[in-house]
A and B are shown apart, each in its own frame.
Chain A
Amino acid sequence: MTALLDTLEGTLGGWGTTLLVGFVALAGLITVNAMFMVWFERKVAGWVQGRLGPMEHGPQGTLQTLLDVVKLLGKESIIPAQVDRKVFLLAPVVAFLPALAMLSLLPYDNNLTMTDVESGLLLVFAFGGVSLMGIFMGAWSSNNKFALLGGMRAVSQNIAYELPLLLSAMAVVLCAGSLNLGEIVAAQTGENGLWFIVMQPVALGIYLIAATAETNRAPFDIPEAESELVAGFHTEYTGMGFAVFFLAEYTYMFIVCGIGATLFLGGGDGPLLPGPVWFILKVYFLLFLMVMARWTYPRLRFDQLMNLAWKFLIPLSLINLLATAAVLKFVEVGS
């Protein structure tokens, strides 16, 4: 392993090696995560509903997703006659690519971050905005009214929920005093470090709700509400295009839960097990919550969704932010 790395470093240089290794690791992470999540989601759905979920391929159906991927790859990609071809084909890529950048920003452990940026948190959310473009491009270019409705819903929903998402994260940033994800984790570990879930339970609640909405997951899955809009923004996508959108959805789930674990659950902090394992465990715990929510609740209506964001979540997160700031100031003055 080290020998291999050395050879690589010799030919590519330090920076090139980091890039290559990072890229391979990320690609692996994305695929494994998506495959696991699809299987996991099906299993949980099945168990919740008194079923068994996939059972046929591999023990407990673990190979099911792999075969599904093969099936999707083998499918014909149908491009409807009236779509805006270039945008239509580009859209899944635009929706998916930011995920790579976002993943590289996550702190998997104290000093295991692929790109350590000073304002990492802001950058993650900024890239999230780009992926929205992909969704909207797909919706608009599809030349389908269901897709268009889905796209419009997606945009207004994401804009509405970006605010509480950021505001709840800001409360944590105030506590940690840094936008750097690594430093936020560091603030929660160490001698008298305390996970921010203790200090910021309200922010965690807001974050989870907003994150579910940001990733268009049930009960906030109105952009693709299948009982209303057939499949929403990806109605016209088949085969690979659909698969990429699907992949993007699961990757974003991983990312928001990763950020959630970083902000509130102390990232890779934990006893006995190594940091990355703790990080992954925490992420999948949050993902499990998201999956459970999907299989428990009915879907909100569009206006109710907006009301929830603008009338409840944003004021609440503002109050939370102000209160945090005030308390911090008092503590600072007091000490």
Chain B
Amino acid sequence: MSQDSTNSAVPVPGRSVRPTGFGGAVRFMVRSMLTLFVGLKVTLKKLMGRKVTEQYPHEKPVMSGAFRSAIALVSFDDLNGTHDCIACDACELICPSYCITVRGDRLPDSKKKRATEFLVDFSTCSLCGLCLAVCPTETLKYSSGYDDAGYNRGWIHNLLEPYADDPEAPELLALLTARDEAKRAARKAARAAKEAPAAKPAPEAETTPANPAPEGSDG
């Protein structure tokens, strides 16, 4: 046998040789039959082997940490677990699939805006992440649900639904102001730490987002 094409681990460079003469033809036939048996051996082994099926509705897969599902609003601890959408419309404007609708209103006695309506049509979302990238308050994230389904053409997620029992406006305003204050203080501390000769890193100040620029808020 010039080339045993069935038992090498690398792609076999060999091409089958056209049989010549009677002996060649017989050899070709025998070798061909052998390849068929090798194939059968593989399938028989697989027949007994490990099964990979996940019995989906009975066993639920675990999604990776990065998994992208419909976008959702982040709840911030320092805001008593509520979101921080200032209804700046940046996400609505950048979304290439036009699937976000945000409406907002000023909080009474304040310049601060707050979302009153946040709808996402998940049926057209392309999970591009641009809305997350532009959000000035970083209050958008991907959720990790995977087995929900839309039952008609528009598949509207109301992102404010989990925040139905938001704190009342005055309380909220107090929270927001307190947070801004805290942030400002932290920034000041960080600047002081930087200026001080023994520069200490201030991780909180770096990870928390900068105070939102107010220019988007009068859109």
Chain A residues in the interface with B (C-beta under 8 A): 44, 46-52, 55, 292-293, 295-297, 312
Contacts and interface: CB of A to CB of B under 8 A. Distances in A.
Interface in B32-69: 36, 39-40, 42-44, 46-53, 55
Nearest to A52: B53
A50 B53 CA distance: 7
A55 B39 CA distance: 27
A52 B51 contact: yes
A50 B51 CA distance: 4
Interface in B1-46: 29, 36, 39-40, 42-44, 46
Contact of A48 (B29, B36, B43, B52): B43
B110 to A, nearest CB: 57
Given A296-B40, A312-B29, A48 B47 contact: yes
Given A292-B40, A297-B36, A47 B46 contact: yes
Contacts, number: 37
A51 B56 CA distance: 13
Contacts of B42: 296
14 contacts: A47-B47, A49-B46, A50-B46, A50-B49, A50-B50, A50-B51, A50-B53, A51-B53, A52-B51, A55-B55, A296-B43, A297-B36, A297-B39, A312-B29
A293 B41 CA distance: 11
A44 B47 contact: yes
Given A44-B47, A47-B46, A52-B55, A296 B39 contact: yes
A50 B52 contact: yes
Given A49-B46, A292-B44, 8 more contacts: A46-B51, A50-B50, A50-B51, A51-B52, A52-B51, A296-B42, A296-B43, A297-B39
Contacts of B43: 48, 292, 295-296
Interface centre among A292, A293, A295, A296 (most CB of B within 10 A): A296
Given A296-B39, A296-B40, A297-B36, A48 B46 contact: yes
B51 A47 contact: yes
B6 to A, nearest CB: 14
Contacts of B51: 46-47, 50-52
Contacts of B44: 292
Contacts of B55: 52, 55
3 tightest Cβ-Cβ pairs between the two chains A and B: A52-B53, A296-B43, A47-B47
A304 to B, nearest CB: 12
Contacts of A295: 43
A295 B42 CA distance: 11
Nearest to B58: A55
